[in-house]
Amino acid sequence: MSDAIGIPSTEIASKRRSRLAEFFIRLVREKPLGTISGIIILMLIFVAIFADVLAPYPYDKLNLGDRLQGASFQHLLGTDQLGRDLLSRLIFGARISLVVGLAATALNVAVALLIGGTSGFLGGKLDLAVQRFVDAWMAFPGLLLLLTIMSVVGQGILQIIVVLGIAGGIGGSRVVRGAVIGIKENDYFLAARAVGTPTSQILTRHVLPNIMAPIIIIFSINIGGVIIAEASLSFLGFGLPIKIPSWGGMLSREGRRFMEQAPWLALWPGLFLTLVVYSFNMFGDALRDLLDPRLRGGEGSYGTAKVKHKRGFLSRLLNPFS
């Protein structure tokens, strides 16, 4: 089989695989910190998927005889005030953080595409009205706005996903709008308009493919912010219900209450939260540097300018002869 211009589909698939492999090689060589962060994210996904198998105990199993017990062979990270295994609760908390982070960020991107894409593509008075609404929305203090909305809709995973997704998407629509407006000024877009190409084809063939790089960057960077927002709301008592083990809830309840008596109840959730958010931020920065043509310093698929980089330890370890 071949496409409309006669290029075999197998050749197209081979080129795509080659470009993807080239991208990952550049990621390892030029962004070792981003690579390590990506590995940490993959580990988080693995832990979240197989939490039921990896957790040594059910996250809600009570054992008052072992309450506030330090690290031991039976409980590797200790127990809380109800004798629940802290490691098991952290593992299940990873699942909660990942589900909320991915789902809310996906909704975030969808809302940003809908608002920013429509505003930038249509322009005119609609664009003016939408941008004034976005300005007014962003003028409110973010945390105060989230607390107000959560106090109205109530606690729950679905509620926090919807609230964080929509709230973040409205602010992120500015990035999408700017990208769409930039595309509208290109010759290929003007030519498509001039020959009468249907709007649906212009959107699917010219607009969406060319804003995928900023969309991927927005998605990867915003996950860390969403996880922090969920932890902040749970810490303040407006996030997830008490029965659901979330890292922010652990810090707020048992971590804050027993900080002096059992410091590990605040230490481990804080460390896990910091590591995961930092990894998402570093991985997002690495993707931005590799995908954004303004930061690549060259032309071509992923930038062909020959810039000498000081190779890091991980790069030398994985490819010692280059």
Tens of pLDDT, residues 49-87: 999 899 888 888 888 878 888 888 888 888 888 888 889
Whether the Cβ atoms of residue 183 and residue 207 lie closer than 8 Å to each other: yes
**75 Ramachandran zone, left/alpha/beta (phi>0; psi -120 to 50):** beta
pLDDT at 1 exceeding the cut of 80: no
The model's pTM: 0.75
pLDDT at residue 7 in the model: 53
Question: Which of helix, strand or coil describes residue 299?
Answer: coil
Which band of pLDDT confidence, cut at 50, 70 and 90, is reported for residue 8?
Answer: low
DSSP conformation class of 2: B
Whether the Cβ atoms of residue 255 and residue 268 lie closer than 8 Å to each other: no
pLDDT at 46 exceeding the cut of 90: yes
Tens-place pLDDT, residues 22-42: 777 888 888 888 889 989 999
Which band of pLDDT confidence, cut at 50, 70 and 90, is reported for residue 303?
Answer: very low
pLDDT at 298 exceeding the cut of 70: no
Question: What percent of the chain lies above the pLDDT cut of 70?
Answer: 85
Tens-place pLDDT, residues 238-297: 888 878 888 887 887 777 788 888 888 888 888 988 898 888 888 888 887 777 655 554
Name beta bridge partners: 249: none
Tens-place pLDDT, residues 180-234: 888 888 888 888 888 888 888 888 888 888 787 778 777 877 888 888 888 888 8
**Fold annotation for 15-55+74-318:** MetI-like fold (1.10.3720)
Residue in this structure with the two tokens 């004034």, named with its chain if needed: 132
pLDDT at residue 317 in the model: 36
CB-side neighbour CA atoms (13 Å) of 47: 22
Segments making up each domain of the chain, as ranges: 15-55+74-318
Question: Which of helix, strand or coil describes residue 96?
Answer: helix
Burial class of residue 211 in the structure, from the number of CB atoms within 10 Å of its CB (0-12 exposed, 13-18 middle, 19+ buried): buried
pLDDT at residue 255 in the model: 76
Residue in this structure with the two tokens 């860390």, named with its chain if needed: 224
Q: Note the residue count of the chain.
A: 322
pLDDT at residue 14 in the model: 67
Name the residue among 51, 104, 79, 84 with its Cα closest to residue 243: 84
SS3 content of the chain, % helix, strand, coil (to 5): 70, 0, 25
Question: Please, which residues have CB within 8 angstroms of residue 28's CB and are 6 or more apart in sequence?
Answer: 35, 314, 315, 318, 319
Cα torsion at 34, 40, 42, 43 (round to 10°)? 170
Tell me the C-alpha distance between 297 and 261, whole Å.
Answer: 54
pLDDT at residue 185 in the model: 81
Tens-place pLDDT, residues 91-138: 998 888 889 888 999 999 999 999 988 888 888 888 899 989 998 888
Name beta bridge partners: 85: 79
pLDDT at residue 72 in the model: 83
Which band of pLDDT confidence, cut at 50, 70 and 90, is reported for residue 12?
Answer: low
Token digits of residue 75 = 């409980």
- Write 132-136 long-range contacts (CB < 8 A, 24+): 134/170, 134/171, 134/173, 134/174
pLDDT at residue 322 in the model: 40
Tell me the C-alpha distance between 32 and 88, whole Å.
Answer: 31
